[in-house]
Structure 1
Amino acid sequence: MTARLDHWLPGAQWRTHHDRSVAAPEPEAARALKEVTFSEMTVMRPLMTLRTLPSRLLGHSDRKLIAGDADAIQGMKRMGFIVLDDVPGGELIMGFVGQPWKPSLPKAVVPGLSPEEFMAFDRPGYVKGVFGLWAEPGGAGARLHTETRVYATDPRAARRFKPYWLVIEPFSSLMRRDLLGAVGRRAERTAREGRHSR
């Protein structure tokens, strides 16, 4: 999976990686990656409510961003991410281009980019990010992974993004762990139900 991340963003000044074991077979863990919803997460919605507060104070409606029925792909797309890779079996890579330090979330991302446009984007003053989510065999079950990488297109963007990252990274990591926890619970529940139905 890291090879696909390298393909989309070979260089990155900032990156985080989180993983966790799941007591479920890899196929069920991989399916849960895409089917998990925001309503199954503990901290995602409160943190997104906090992140979108400046937008709402400025009169922009971000209500759809925190809708509980959104699955992993829908939810990320609502936040401005684009699908770069959606591999059968669970691997998912999404990307964004923008200026996330801006208070209004809708104005902080460049909308409507194709994967090819994402790859070619090099306009000064922006950052490019990728978010990978995948499952692989691990012990008696599976291991879930998420990795985030961010690249600044020029030194000015790097200077703008660095303090933002220092503030937001602990909360971003909390959201990633929350996501993996929700995926794990869904996969384990599905595995139990499958055993009981036999």
Structure 2
Amino acid sequence: MTYRLEQLLPDHDRREYHETRVPGPPEIAWAALTDLRVRDLPLSTLLSRLRGGPKAWFAPFDGGDGRALDNVPPRELCADPPRELILGDIADYTGSGPTRPDVPRGDLESFLRFDEPGWTKVAMNFRFAADGRETRLSTETRVLATDEGARKAFAKYWLLVRAGSGLIRRDILSAVRSAAAERTRPGI
């Protein structure tokens, strides 16, 4: 079955949306996103290291050869190439670092069934829509707390991280746009 973000997390407490136009068809934009490397996202890397505290600040950095999508907390839940990629995570984000329940990360059925109190479910997508000679690439993040206590705690956390979260999403969209432009450049 093909899922849409609206099916995975129809109700949500928080939502963030960003979009851009990418040169070329959705297949080019999809490949640009899925091939993205950590090194292609310097702003996101900096913000993630800042969020990680002193341990992350002074940790060695390997240059970022890993795939970007393999190095973000949400894991792939499902994909409908080249239309939509959905990532998800379940955690308590309000401490010095996220803690996660004993649930397999990236497992769609576990994500759908999970409803234990005290946690927050996050679903994030990348949607690709052909628009003439370009692709409209959007990303939406939805957040749903599993109970009122988690909802209140996350609301405070969101005040602190929302701006950085938006910067990371825009950094990813910009990197995909640049990579797609390189792939569609004449002579390539």
**TM-score of the aligned structures, taking structure 1 as reference length:** 0.84
Amino acid at match of 1:145: S
- In structure 2, relative to structure 1, the CA distance for the partners of 1:62 and 1:88 (3 Å cut) is farther
What is the rounded CA distance, in whole Å, between the counterparts of 1:7 and 1:90 in structure 2? 15
Indicate the residue corresponding to 2:162 in structure 1: 169
- 2:81 alignment partner AA: P
Comparing both structures, which one devotes a greater share of its residues to helix? 1
1:63/1:4 Cα in 2 relative to 1: closer, same or farther (>3 Å)? farther
Structure 1 residue 40 corresponds to structure 2 residue 40:
yes
Secondary structure of the structure 2 residue equivalent to 1:34? helix
| Separation (CA, whole Å) in 1 of partners of 2:47 and 2:67 | 17
Q: TM-score, normalised by structure 2?
A: 0.88
* Offset from partner CA, 1:65-90 (integer Å, 9 cap, x none): x86122233122xx2x2321122225
Identity of aligned residues (%): 31
Query: Among 66, 71, 77, which residue is 1:84 paired with?
Result: 77
Please list every run of 5 or more consecutive structure 2 residues that lacks an aligned counterpart in the other structure: none
Pick closer, same or farther for the CA change 1:119–1:44 going to 2, 3 Å.
Answer: same
Match of 1:178 in 2: 171
Deviations 1:83-102 (A, max 9, x none): 21122225210100010111
Partner of residue 190 from structure 1, selected from 158, 180, 183: 183
Off by >4 Å, runs of 4+ in structure 1: 61-64
- Please say if residues 12 and 144 of structure 2, whose CA atoms lie closer than 8 Å, have aligned partners that are also in contact: yes
CA-atom RMSD in angstroms = 2.2
**Which amino acid in structure 1 is aligned with residue 82 of structure 2?**
G
- Structure 2 counterparts to residues 108-187 of structure 1, below 5 A: 108-110=99-101, 112-113=104-105, 114-187=107-180
Aligned residues: 183
Relative to 1, partners in 2 of residues 1:62 and 1:15: Cα closer, same or farther, differing over 3 Å? Answer: farther
CA distance in 2, matches of 1:62, 1:24: 38
8 Å Cα contact 2:4/2:84 also seen in 1: no
Query: What secondary structure, in the 3-state scheme, does the structure 1 residue paired with 2:11 have?
Result: coil
Hey, what does 1:51 align to over in structure 2? Answer: 51
2:97 aligned with 1:101: no
Cα distance in 1, alignment partners of residues 5 and 156 from structure 2: 24
